[in-house]
Amino acid sequence: MPSRKILAAARNVFLLIALDQASKLWAVASLSPASPASPASPASGAAFSSGNWFSIALSFNRGAAFSIMDGGTGTPGLLLAAAGLLVLGVACVACPALRRLRGMSFLWAGGVSNFIDRVARGCVVDWVQVWGLGVNLADLWLCVGCLLAVASAVEASRRR
């Protein structure tokens, strides 16, 4: 039987995925698409905008992170996402210490939720535009996970 920590981590992953997917369903149903020419522009159909650096507007990312390699079928982004999840899984199996890093639930949730988008929609739904970059809650989960993992690794190295 799995330990309580593993069950709690799995619960957290599913909760974070559910929050991200619910926010994306809301965005698709409620927001107007951002203008491809200037996604953070107040005139782009954004539901909310704070000048040219922040807006709430719908966009679809068929490329990799931050729309790198965008403009195609979405296959490169799907392949990169699958490879990233595979590497994360292999690393967790090969190095048990990685499983203890605080940020792992956030990393798994962000990666899996964006992967779900790529498989189900062929693209990732982004609904926040920051300095022209489209992001979503899963992207936030990935950033938080990285920060927590780094902080956890630094803390572990100081204890040695």
Nearest to 36 by CA among 56, 64, 58, 4: 58
pLDDT for 69: 54
Q: Is pLDDT at 31 greater than 80 in this prediction?
A: yes
**What pLDDT band is residue 109 in, cutting at 50, 70 and 90?**
very high
d(CA 89, CA 112): 11
8 Å CB contact between 61 and 123: yes
Q: Is pLDDT at 43 greater than 70 in this prediction?
A: no
pLDDT for 81: 63
Q: Which residues of 114-153 are buried (b: 16+ CB within 10 A; e: fewer)?
A: bbbbbeeeebbbbbbbeeebbbbbbbbbbebbeebbeebe
Lowest-confidence range among 52-56, 73-77, 123-127, 137-141? 73-77
> For the segment 111-136, what is each residue's pLDDT rounded down to a tens digit?
899 989 988 998 899 998 887 788 89
Q: Is pLDDT at 41 greater than 50 in this prediction?
A: no
Q: Is pLDDT at 38 greater than 50 in this prediction?
A: no
Q: Is pLDDT at 39 greater than 50 in this prediction?
A: no
Greater model confidence, 100 or 108: 108
Q: Is pLDDT at 10 greater than 70 in this prediction?
A: yes
Nearest to 29 by CA among 47, 49, 17: 47
**What pLDDT band is residue 138 in, cutting at 50, 70 and 90?**
very high
In the predicted model, what is the mean pLDDT of the chain?
76
